[in-house]
Chain A
């Protein structure tokens, strides 16, 4: 393709670049600018430049550090669980079992449920007076009295994680299943002839084949899990005693409830840096594996 023709194509994407710049770029730039100021929500007083003060105070803020821990733990547990469960389900649905096509169609349902609806649904399931989970566990004899799942400091985060895994494992399963469907049958047959058992076939043939898809799913899920807001906000609003307050909820409260846009923006940038750091670590591990 000639340089001239490439130039023409570039002009055609200018409108898209402009739109993306306005929609994504400008708010991002504005957030960075805010993070170095003491801007308030209402602009009743002129904002002034405060340098790195907001960033330094963020690392001294125990509430923010604790919310980062909640986000990190949430991401670690839900992404690991979703990858394990999603892969297992995908492997099962790749087998020529009876009714598997119908189950594949239903697999998308949890993921298709809007997060807020999912959160409300699980709030009802966890209800300590009439929730279905308590009823089930009680009838099975696993508990002797109804449990307050979202009102207990030690159970609330785990309960939210479970609700999130239920919703999102199907995304991982679908991505892995799509990859499994394109796995050449000949490779499996050849391994069988060579005497490889089921576990060996999975480790040496299936796993290396699905790893790239799994990596895409993990990157997507890590980003979503670290910036988790809606499911926690609807289910517990960060309580009890801030035990489920994620970094995104902390940023929201700082910027909008406490009306401190400047420090809220700084906290938001730190959260983004935290996500980028996690992805870089992950990509580095990925590249090492490729080598």
Chain B
């Protein structure tokens, strides 16, 4: 009996040692992503499951929050005792995260294949002061979507080539009773409003800041804001735009209640999906926003996102391994029906281009010319100030000039 007891104790000790040893071998990572329409939670979890199958020693726990909560959640977790290992970062946050030392400089660890193969526009927004702080995961911009049938009904067979031509078409559409409000934009008090405004700033060839980083939007942005106000006052812009986010405008456009809208690339597939839209594929046009006559031909503002390793991560090598996997060409090509890849070669792949030639052509052009929103460490606060000021002007509470003067005064006080 005594011998059996000793053997039993030894067996338990051995099993415990093995399990402890095995536990030590497994690395646990936490990833924070975004609940969104393109790469959905399910898609990312599928990618993660494949990664874990290929890396049995790494276990990844994924979490997803809406875009509006992504930055706060990342920062709160960073400030706590349990930061994430890898996170999704919007292009406007890279400057802030990098300046605060939250994300790891991975310049020396990026494989040559990535350096050579990923689109240059991708590296632009993850690079700050010649240091690379992340991997581009998807490139995006607000494309101009237009309803081909409506334009045709009003006698236009070609897409607009300038802002002026687009407005002229909108007026004709309204006069002929084709649609009550030709334009619908996401202009709720949120980042989406800044994205729309920034696209038109680009179309007008204007900048928010001068070369030294001083705010000049109170001079450069007035006519752009006055242009948006004129669309509202002339009844060309759906007045509900001021409470709409991207999903709202997608529904309005898909219901055939708007001729023009700006939205991210994900909308292209959904705008002609019978389950989501009353439009057919041949009714949906997509292009890069045309520029103002005599200023530029096209305009695009970056709305891209990248993946970074948190500097406090206990397993930075494994976290880098994970984000390299999520951005690899093969995987991105596999999911390219949801989100266009960040790899240059993918844009010449017939399998990826087929069936969405317009979108791929627009993306190829947009990703080449797109500019970023202001890259400042306190961007979030500056953006909130601008949102309020722009909305005040759109509601008629202040003139465009007064609203932007007030915004710049407040933004200067932040510095």
Please determine whether chains A and B interact with each other in the same assembly: yes
Seen from chain A, the residues whose Cβ lies within 8 Å of a Cβ on chain B are 41-44, 128-129, 148, 150-151, 153, 236-242, 253, 256-259
Chain B minimum-CB-distance residue to A148: B240
Q: Which residues of B contact A150 (CB under 8 A)?
A: 243
Tally A-B pairs: CB < 8 A: 72
Q: Which residues of B contact A44 (CB under 8 A)?
A: 100-101
Known interface pairs A44-B100, A238-B189; A151-B240 also in contact (CB < 8 Å): yes
17 contacts between A and B (CB under 8 A): A44-B101, A128-B240, A129-B240, A129-B257, A148-B242, A150-B243, A151-B244, A153-B395, A237-B68, A237-B188, A237-B190, A239-B387, A241-B189, A241-B392, A257-B380, A258-B378, A259-B75
Cβ–Cβ contact A43 & B79, under 8 A? yes
Known interface pairs A153-B395, A242-B388, A257-B381; A129-B243 also in contact (CB < 8 Å): no
Q: Which residues of B contact A41 (CB under 8 A)?
A: 75-76, 79
Interface size class of B (residues with CB under 8 A): 20 to 34
Chain A minimum-CB-distance residue to B396: A153
Q: Is B252 an interface residue (CB 8 A)?
A: yes
Q: State the CA gap A259–B257 with chains docked (Å).
A: 41
Q: State the CA gap A125–B287 with chains docked (Å).
A: 34
Of A42, A151, A237, A259, the residue contacting B242 (CB under 8 A) is A151
Q: Is B58 an interface residue (CB 8 A)?
A: no
Q: At the interface, is chain B mostly helix, strand, loop or mixed? A: helix
Give the 7 A-B CB pairs with smallest separation, nearest first.
A151-B243, A239-B189, A241-B391, A128-B240, A151-B242, A148-B240, A241-B392
Q: Is B215 an interface residue (CB 8 A)?
A: no
Q: Which residues of B contact A128 (CB under 8 A)?
A: 240, 243
Chain B minimum-CB-distance residue to A149: B243
Known interface pairs A128-B240, A151-B239, A256-B72; A239-B257 also in contact (CB < 8 Å): no
Known interface pairs A42-B100, A129-B257, A258-B380; A239-B75 also in contact (CB < 8 Å): no
Shortest beta-carbon distance, A49 to chain B, in Å? 20
Q: State the CA gap A237–B252 with chains docked (Å).
A: 21
Q: Which residues of A contact B244 (CB under 8 A)?
A: 151
Q: Is B34 an interface residue (CB 8 A)?
A: no
Cβ–Cβ contact A241 & B395, under 8 A? yes
Q: State the CA gap A75–B284 with chains docked (Å).
A: 47
Q: Which residues of B contact A258 (CB under 8 A)?
A: 378, 380-381
Chain B minimum-CB-distance residue to A123: B243
Q: Which residues of A contact B189 (CB under 8 A)?
A: 236-242
Cβ–Cβ contact A240 & B243, under 8 A? yes
Chain A minimum-CB-distance residue to B240: A128
Q: Which residues of B contact A253 (CB under 8 A)?
A: 384
Q: State the CA gap A148–B239 with chains docked (Å).
A: 8
Shortest beta-carbon distance, A273 to chain B, in Å? 25
Q: Which residues of B contact A242 (CB under 8 A)?
A: 189, 388
Which residue, of B102, B240, B392, has the highest number of chain A Cβ atoms within 10 A?
B240
Shortest beta-carbon distance, A107 to chain B, in Å? 32
